[in-house]
Chain A
Amino acid sequence: MKDKLEILVGIGIAVAVIVTLYFFLINAGNIDSSEIISSGVVIILVASALYILWDRIKNVKRGLPAQDERLKITNYKACYYGFIASIWSAVGAPLISGIIFDYELPGHYVTAVVVLCGGLAFMLSYFLLAWKGN
């Protein structure tokens, strides 16, 4: 029951993100390169999340648990790496922007970088750890 609820919530969030991105893109007008990159990262994150959900659905259908002790450890480790990436991107993004491009990054851009870097680091480390077996 808990597994099914988690899967349903996951699908709901993924659909909500896709719908939000769709409305953003059709109403954005002129889209600059940073928006294209951030939209691309969001699409990668949503696709990865949908893959994880599909994998869980496949296991539940076969009578196996959606998540077991190994995947819980994988999740914790991936969360840790995502957290570290978020912190470093919060510090590094304004610094790199200021030093290399001589441009003061606005607050909402820093927030976007932090969220996307954290998400990307989580997904990459999740798949790497799941593939390696911890």
Chain B
Amino acid sequence: MKTRIKELRARHDLTQEDLAIKVGVRRETILFIEKGKYNPSLKLAHDIAKVLQTTIDELFIFE
């Protein structure tokens, strides 16, 4: 699974740590999600999408 988190994070001028604080997870979790090494829960995916002002569909690219 690929994600557009890095791209959208840069657009909102957020660091991994900023996003981690906003959604209440550790920075490494954001890093692993961006790399596609960890599949987040639906709640976390929803929270990230909300912070980045997008939808889960646009955030994650299912292959």
Contacts and interface: CB of A to CB of B under 8 A. Distances in A.
Interface residues of B, number: 17
A134 B32 CA distance: 9
A70 B17 contact: no
Contacts, number: 41
Interface residues on A, range: 10 to 19
Interface in A51-98: 59, 62-65, 68-71
B20 to A, nearest CB: 6
B25 A69 contact: yes
B21 A70 contact: no
B26 A65 contact: yes
A132 interface: yes
Contacts of A62: 17
Interface string B9-49: 00000000100110011111101100101101100100000
12 contacts: A63-B21, A64-B20, A64-B26, A68-B24, A69-B40, A70-B32, A70-B38, A70-B40, A132-B37, A133-B32, A133-B37, A134-B32
Interface of A: 59, 62-65, 68-71, 130, 132-134
